[in-house]
Structure 1
């Protein structure tokens, strides 16, 4: 059984040139820093012409190995945090299958224990 993280941002106004450039920068930085070459990472869909208010949408399939899942989830959520801050006033929905990921103005997207090194090590992560 697979688990995926889904994300979408909507706003009536299209992205500015500066916002689009920042989105491209965040995506490129994410790809360059992603810890696993053989794992799906931040993946944005092509823009849907039928949904003009959609700024971006995408998904990431999580690894089945729990030791890898936490670092992958943390990396993608960090990138989504940057993307949300790059697209102000957008309506965001980020969820791990049926679990909504909460937004915190200071920390961004995060889950309890996600960055706990002891938990990551216990699960066999780096």
Structure 2
């Protein structure tokens, strides 16, 4: 069984050229800084032609099965989605994993408790 993190943005106006360029920069920076090989656990945006009506961005990330990789992947993806939200103004965002919505904080962005706790990350790495 796999768990995924889902993210989407909705608004009436489509992305502007400047916003599209900003989105591309965020995705490129995420891929360049991603600590693990492959694309399975990375930030992944669905192709624009697959979007639902009113949806200007949407994507998902499959969470790793390796407990030692879980929190770094979550932190990296949520940091990137935070950057996307800040680059695309005026949209209604939803970030969630199954029934759990990830809260938004104007200062911190998207975050889950403990996702940057080095002791917890180390402990999960030993499982």
**What range is the shorter-chain TM-score in?**
over 0.9
Which 5+ residue runs of structure 2 have no aligned equivalent? none
Residues 48 and 54, structure 1, Cα contact 8 Å, conserved in 2: no
Displacement of 1:15? 1.2
* Alignment correspondent of 2:23: 23
Unaligned segments of structure 1, at least 5 residues: none
Aligned length: 125
Structure 1 runs of 4+ aligned residues shifted over 3 Å read 48-52
1:10, 1:53 within 8 Å by CA — same for their partners in 2? Answer: yes
CA–CA distance in structure 2, aligned partners of residues 52 and 63 of structure 1? 30
Q: How does 1:1-126 map to 2 (within 5 A)?
A: 1-38=1-38, 39-48=40-49, 51-124=52-125
CA RMSD of superposed structures (Å): 1.5
The TM-score with structure 2 as length reference comes to 0.93
Question: How far apart in 1 are the matches of 2:49 and 2:98?
Answer: 21
CA offsets, 1:36-55, max 9 Å, x none?
00442001101246734211
